[in-house]
Chains A and B, each alone.
Chain A
């Protein structure tokens, strides 16, 4: 299958339709769940989809090393190209690598301001006009509202969409009756798109809790396939 076709048929198009055409530039999306459920896999799939559409992605992480992140991308790309037998997979892979940068911050207690400064340097001095920034492992509970607001204002100024992964640590029940994680309720108004990952035995369901101005617990009919670690349609 050629790349264009693959992109068209991606389950992520379903996601986009459900959230009013996409996250939108200058907006923030959050993927929330307990640790180990599959947030990083989803984020990497979302990033890869963006890359396949010719977009540029900065993947921000707060880890000790960078190689495992590269492995994530390699593995997910392999699964995607296997899924629909992608033509010229190797060339496409080389192309999309050029449009992805991993920025890793290894310092304990680094200030959000510093992270945004470095992002700015990459976008301007590095001439890397990113379309999407992924914050993987950014501890939302530690950072305050002002940090989130700073990120949003940065996103607006450089015209990109931001995805966060939020690791929920609280006691059960994690969510309120609108599927908003209780520990994120203080930030709910700044977050534009909020998706929770629900562990359901043999797969993980993607639950849309907030779609821009709409608070509707709509069923996305999307799941995270544990075998391929790809977002897939959850056909009944």
Chain B
């Protein structure tokens, strides 16, 4: 295990929009890397269906790459292909996959070109600063136009896309490619295109190739003075070109473009060569962790096997043999028997069985390289956990887990669905700390909670497809809060002294609003007006009371209760009596403290072509939103706004239709804000009418 080995490693993802042929490409890559014996024979790992975001084609043909990471080897280079979810939601799962990649192949169809989903996928890659290559697939189809697609990469995605090849023929006459660096033609012979034949450039393409080579060298020499000089002097070598392209690609200032047809077995091997030549190895990527002992101060990790270990558990999979935890080792290394520390659960554990995933089998290994992706068996953990050597306390992600802002009641359609639903919920909640589920004690319904409408929709869909659990859903419910807005005094007696054991407790004091979402209890009782043993009873009572405010039945936040007087009875006072006194006091004082309803306000970011900007502005305005800032970058605009969550339902559909599917939005909880009076009044009315939890229309 040495740094030379790490430099040969590549961790990549294949990002694509739905019709680009990602599955076929992945399959061919596995075939040429000798990981599968024949094409069309890749099977799912554990029989569980593909995730919701995988291509329909995948399911139809029964081919699934369900491993979160598959290891292949191309020319002595170990490559981990990480499954990148394609759905357009900025969920934690997407974030984790992108964090674990060092580079990506962006796949496009030579016919359809840059689609709205490719725009989304590219934006995600940009957000996580992932260097990429582009592969223009389906050059064999009618209407294929790789040149046009390259132009779209420049215009629509703002990429410095440079063709490294030109096609030899197109559509049904597509035969191979001309490599503009070596200036040779490459053909793909054999039953499955596995034999490469290199020849001279066909004479009818010579002029075109020369011209395109000039363009390529012009663009690429920006990254190497040596190459620029050699270009002027006519002394360009392949090595100089490769070095410059690599530099530009890793710096994310260049996107080399390749052409082929995975289905027709053409162009995949040169693409693999490009992955090795131009995408970074783990030592060339900056990875940052947070030091939990230093208030989450940032620490840069070094891909050095001799340093203490830091690894991220990015995906959990339930298999036939138990839970598989996929990890990426960022620093240090991992051996069977090593002791690791889970910085979230704060528990130590020993590394038991260590495996590497291939397309068709699992390989037991005794140690993992630094920079590699492997899997552990039977470890109790959650997705997103960080494992370190015991002397470190780092986390790859902030430990802050936001509170869910929306909940939904779900009811399984039948007994089978009910069992499957429980299994599904179990798995999902383990993988995603922002997704929660519980049974409401009052209604006996299963409630799921998450960070947005789409977040929950994705899980309901996955429950159906992966676990065959069909559920009916209620109306989504916003997590309102109640808060008092002014100080008010209380003086309350709880008395039940009619025959038999009585109850007596008097508690007096005041409530006042405080910043934030906390509850504070202050004991200012003097002279034992309330006996010491019942002070905590008062606290308990107040805590109970604030669980459900009387405006709309939601928790009361930001309140400080001070008790400064009271009375007790030598016989009838008790823990329960003072709890009831406190509850009664709170209920009594509450209306006088001018309570208000608070709603979750989301930070909403909408990104899309500038031409639809006006529509987006209007849509935010219509939803009681406030636009904070806009950034226009070429043909794209990004709008940042604050919008109440209750107004965001159905925004996904609305946005899609007003922007022809070309815009995207993301949403995260920002703060609680006061609900306007008119809405507040209606919420109270609805609550009083039904005397249940408020439902959003």
Using a CB–CB cutoff of 8 Å, the interface residues on chain A facing chain B are: 65-66, 69-70, 97-98, 101-107, 110, 114, 118, 121-122, 124-128
Contact = CB atoms under 8 A, between A and B. Distances in A.
A127 B618 contact: yes
The 8 closest A-B pairs by CB, nearest first: A126-B617, A125-B614, A121-B614, A102-B629, A125-B618, A125-B617, A104-B631, A106-B633
B686 interface: no
B634 interface: yes
A113 B637 CA distance: 16
B457 to A, nearest CB: 28
Contacts of B620: 126
Contacts of A102: 628-630
Contact of A107 (B613, B618, B626, B634): B634
Nearest to B616: A125
B576 interface: no
Given A125-B614, A125-B617, A125-B621, A107 B633 contact: yes
A106 B630 CA distance: 10
A218 B523 CA distance: 64
B186 to A, nearest CB: 38
Contacts of A66: 629, 631, 640
Contacts of A101: 627-630
B618 A126 contact: yes
B691 interface: no
Given A66-B631, A127-B617, 11 more contacts: A66-B640, A101-B628, A103-B629, A103-B630, A103-B632, A118-B610, A122-B630, A125-B617, A126-B614, A126-B620, A127-B618
Contacts of B630: 101-104, 118, 122
20 contacts: A69-B629, A70-B629, A97-B626, A101-B629, A101-B630, A102-B628, A102-B630, A104-B629, A104-B630, A104-B632, A114-B610, A118-B637, A121-B617, A122-B617, A125-B617, A126-B618, A126-B621, A127-B617, A128-B617, A128-B627
A106 B632 contact: yes
Specify which of A66, A104, A126 lies most central, judged by the most chain B CB atoms within 10 Å of its CB. Answer: A126
Interface residues of B, number: 19
B615 interface: yes
A190 B375 CA distance: 69
A97 B610 CA distance: 24
A121 B619 CA distance: 12
Contact of B615 (A104, A114, A125): A125
Nearest to A67: B629
Specify which of B617, B621, B626, B633 lies most central, judged by the most chain A CB atoms within 10 Å of its CB. Answer: B617
B198 to A, nearest CB: 42
Secondary structure class of chain A's binding surface, majority of residues: mixed
Contact of B614 (A70, A107, A124): A124
A105 B628 contact: no
Interface in B589-630: 610, 613-615, 617-618, 620-621, 626-630
Contacts of B618: 125-127
Contacts of A70: 629
Nearest to A94: B673
Contacts of B633: 106-107
Contacts of B617: 121-122, 125-128
Contacts of B621: 125-127
A102 B639 CA distance: 10
A125 B637 CA distance: 15
A126 to B, nearest CB: 3
Contacts of B628: 97, 101-102
Contacts of A103: 629-630, 632
A110 B631 CA distance: 12
Contacts of B631: 65-66, 104-106
Interface string B212-227: 0000000000000000
Nearest to B639: A126
Contacts of A69: 629
Contacts of B629: 66, 69-70, 101-104
Specify which of B613, B620, B627, B633 lies most central, judged by the most chain A CB atoms within 10 Å of its CB. Answer: B627
B627 A105 contact: no
Nearest to A63: B631
Nearest to B158: A107
Contacts of B615: 125
Contacts of A118: 610, 613, 630, 632, 637
A128 B641 CA distance: 13
Contacts of A121: 613-614, 617
Nearest to B626: A98
A65 B620 CA distance: 22
Specify which of B621, B628, B631 lies most central, judged by the most chain A CB atoms within 10 Å of its CB. Answer: B631
A195 to B, nearest CB: 27
B652 to A, nearest CB: 20
Contacts of A125: 613-615, 617-618, 621
